[in-house]
Amino acid sequence: MKRRVSAEVIINREIAPAIYDMWIQPVQKLPEINPGQFIGVFLKDKSLLLPRPLSICEVNADRTALRIVYRIAGAGTHEMSLRRPNDGLGYVTVLGPLGNGFPLEKGEGKRTLLIGGGIGIPPLLELAKRLKAEKQIVVGYQNCNTAGFLQRDLAQYGTVHVATEDGSVGTKGNVLDAVRQKRIEADLIYACGPMPMLRAVKAYAQEKGIPAYISLEERMACGVGACLGCVVKTNQVHHHTNVNNARICTDGPVFEADEVDI
């Protein structure tokens, strides 16, 4: 897949309330993809001009298809949920792969902890698949209605622990309550999820004195570095702009937690 291409929808099914699992087959073979990269999905409704950023959840072995798992958040993802294979609406236009992705080499051979919250869980699957390391995977869901999506997929590549806010499955509480309850020790963390979770992961990594690589899935506009709609403050002076700001869409979405002011 090179930049903007058309892709056939092969599968698009609801796997939990309002959460969809979609496989698409771009007309061109996919380039090498780093876990944690994302694509922008264009919509047919012309009032929804901007591509919707969605993390690459998985890529098939011969790199001819990729998977995204998304929650219906608004009009764009609702439109996506209506796409059916082989019905004339079964094509999407996508842009990507975009962003940097998780640094696999930092965790190789180490005790790694992969933490995902809610709709931040999808990019952990390709990461878990590709990472050659000991993997403890902690995933957090709101309740038993959503608990479980991608859990079995992840269990092929590491030990999975679940936390739910209402305690209906696994540890009652958040992902870090599960980490503490299970006494999980790690040399390095990879995480993706809502901002409050990422702030807590950053504080936890600092407390333990270990590095953490976090994916910031904040709101985006252009998705390709042109609009500055996604900047985050960093402690590094940006090589190109000479200021302490980075664009999440092109410099990220993955950053070392200590580098960003979140």
Ligand X SMILES: Cc1cc2nc3c(=O)[nH]c(=O)nc-3n(C[C@H](O)[C@H](O)[C@H](O)COP(=O)(O)OP(=O)(O)OC[C@H]3O[C@@H](n4cnc5c(N)ncnc54)[C@H](O)[C@@H]3O)c2cc1C
Q: Which residues bind ligand X (CB under 6 A)?
A: 38, 48, 52-55, 68-71, 73-77, 119, 122, 217-220, 253
Q: Is 247 in the site for ligand FES (CB under 6 A)?
A: yes
φ/ψ of 197, rounded to 5, equals: -65, -45
Pairing of strands 159-164, 171-172: parallel
DSSP states along 158-193:
SEEEEEETTSSSSEES-HHHHHHHTT---SEEEEES
Query: Among ligand X, ligand FES, none, what binds residue 209 when CB lies within 5 to 8 Å by partner kind?
Result: none
Sorted by sequence, the CB contacts under 8 Å of residue 88 that are 6+ apart come out as none
Amino acid at 106: K
Near ligand FES by CB under 6 A: residue from 230, 232, 257, 260: 230
Q: Is 223 in the site for ligand FES (CB under 6 A)?
A: yes
Q: Is 249 in the site for ligand FES (CB under 6 A)?
A: yes
Query: Among ligand X, ligand FES, none, what binds residue 54 when CB lies within 5 to 8 Å by partner kind?
Result: ligand X
- Size, binding site for ligand FES by CB under 6 A: 12
CA separation for the pair 209, 103 (Å, rounded): 18
Segment lying near ligand FES (by CB under 6 A), choices 69-77, 129-137, 139-147, 225-233? 225-233
The tokens for 80 are 């996506």
**Residue 49 beta carbon to ligand FES: minimum distance, rounded to whole angstroms:** 13
**Residue 51 beta carbon to ligand FES: minimum distance, rounded to whole angstroms:** 10
